[in-house]
Amino acid sequence: MITMKQSIILAAAILCTHTFVFGQSEQQQQHLLDSVLTAAHQKNSFNGNVLVADKGKVLFRKSYGIAEESTGRKLNPESVFELASVSKQFTAMGIVQLHKQGKLQYDDPVAKYIPELAFYKGITIRNLLNHTGGLPDYMDLFEEKWDKAKFATNEDVIKIFAQHKPDTLFSPGAKYEYSNTGYALLGAIIERVSKKTFGAYLKETIFKPLKMDHTFVYRSRYQPQKVDNYALGYVQDSLGNKVLTNSFGKDFYTYYLDGIVGDGMVNSTLDDLLKWDRALYTDKLINAEDRKQIFASVKTTDGKETNYGFGWQVSKNKQYGTIASHSGGWAGYVTYIERHMDNDKTIIILQNNSTQFTQIPAKDIRKVLYNEPFPIAEVMKKATPTAAELKQYEGVYSNPEAPVKLTIAVSGGALTAQATGQGAFPMDAYENHTFRFDDAHIKMIFDPAAHTMRYIQGRVDVVFTKE
């Protein structure tokens, strides 16, 4: 029973589904993947690039949506994205390589390389790698203490911690808590030990050897430059419009923290990330013992699994085997990489929209890869009804259990809907008498002969009758 007006207008989004059992052919898998992602894009929950590979062979590679809203420039499979926290695996690899060169040890105290923080006792490089160091989040500290007229860098992270000495959250190794601070300090350690910038070091030791020619460290606000085929990152403002985070001003955290590397700021493409994935099965950069360290879930001192290694989340699944993955989210980007290490399958997802509707469609992609049945979202064709055809839907619709009525009208060549006491909103037309307002995930299906309209939004699914 509907009990609140808001349950109709503001209900959560839902997929219109039917169950499909996948076949085995590669062509059918490609079709299903495209259906899943097209439907997600239509519902504003996906805007980006996807690559799916099986044993290194690209099974699917496609773009959905816009790279630059102001010009309408579209994404393409070669578009460059900020990776956000997916960058952490490269920071971890940088540390592993310094270890291999004998320039540091995993169990060295952080204070050996950052003596300014010697008052934090017992925290090791290993603790930073697997998020068991217990340091508080640097972003909260900068929000409170930093002069936001200035860009912050990794050295500033060290300085602000040295100055204010915030308490640790727990003893080193006692707990797991995801820490951007830890990876910012790892970025600083790489720079201090290698005597190179973070970007130059990763380029020399990872990107160039693997021919990852479109991968680089880039801070678009701190050191702006022209990057061809760049996907700009968009968020929603208070009115629901897609905007760049720069529009929030220079005292917004994604602006003044743009100089910090290690926890993010690597930029890359689908194809370069696949090169990275393939290299991790070989000895090009590291050996089997190194891989064992990187992809092993560490335990806390009380024996609990953290499901995190060195820059990778690690899990075991009865069907899929060992999975190494990582997600990222920053300044309009939502990114993800997933490696099925026992079955050699790869999922790479790069998105440049971060809104209330954005989702990472890895679960459905995984099901396609393993030929599992699951409800697949319905893909609908847009329609262009005439003014006369639109006229047949006009009227006031009600349901005795609903606290509001819906007025359907034609305005500006489109069908609009207005609930009692609320503003009208336009709807896009689709086949089979279906209209949608995707900003709120509203769907209306009309039956002109029966004078009814089926309203669907989230868990709300109600039939209204024209008065």
> In this structure, what CATH number is given to the domain that contains residue 99?
3.40.710.10
Q: Which of 375, 399, 420 is the last residue of a domain?
A: 375
Report yes or no on 28 lying in a domain: no
pLDDT, tens digit, for every residue of 401-440?
888 899 999 988 899 999 988 888 999 999 999 999 887 8
Range of the domain at 462: 5-11+382-466
Report the pLDDT value the prediction gives residue 27, as an integer from 0 to 100: 86
* CA–CA distance, 451 with 467 (Å, rounded to integer): 8
pLDDT, tens digit, for every residue of 57-107?
999 999 999 999 999 999 999 999 999 999 999 999 999 999 999 999 999
> What phi and psi, each to the nearest 5 degrees, are found at residue 390?
-65, -35
Report the pLDDT value the prediction gives residue 98, as an integer from 0 to 100: 98
Report the pLDDT value the prediction gives residue 282, as an integer from 0 to 100: 97
325 catalytic per annotation: no
Q: Which of 375, 403, 423 is the last residue of a domain?
A: 375
Is 351 in the same domain as 221? Answer: yes
Sign, CA dihedral 150-352-214-290, equals positive
Structure tokens at 187: 């970025």
Report the pLDDT value the prediction gives residue 378, as an integer from 0 to 100: 60
Report the pLDDT value the prediction gives residue 441, as an integer from 0 to 100: 78
Is 366 in the same domain as 390? Answer: no
Report yes or no on 71 lying in a domain: no
Q: Which of 375, 401, 429 is the last residue of a domain?
A: 375
Report yes or no on 403 lying in a domain: yes
Is 371 in the same domain as 391? Answer: no
Is 257 in the same domain as 290? Answer: yes
Is 267 in the same domain as 358? Answer: yes
- Exactly one of 7, 63, 85, 179 is catalytic; name it: 85
pLDDT, tens digit, for every residue of 109-123?
999 999 999 999 999
Residues of the chain with pLDDT below 50 are 1-24
The secondary structure of 156-190, three-state, reads HHHHHHHHHCCCCCCCCCCCCCCCHHHHHHHHHHH
Bridge partners of 47, per DSSP, are none
What is the residue type of 98?
L
Residue 18 CB neighbour total at 10 angstroms: 8
Is 212 in the same domain as 128? Answer: yes
Report the pLDDT value the prediction gives residue 296, as an integer from 0 to 100: 96
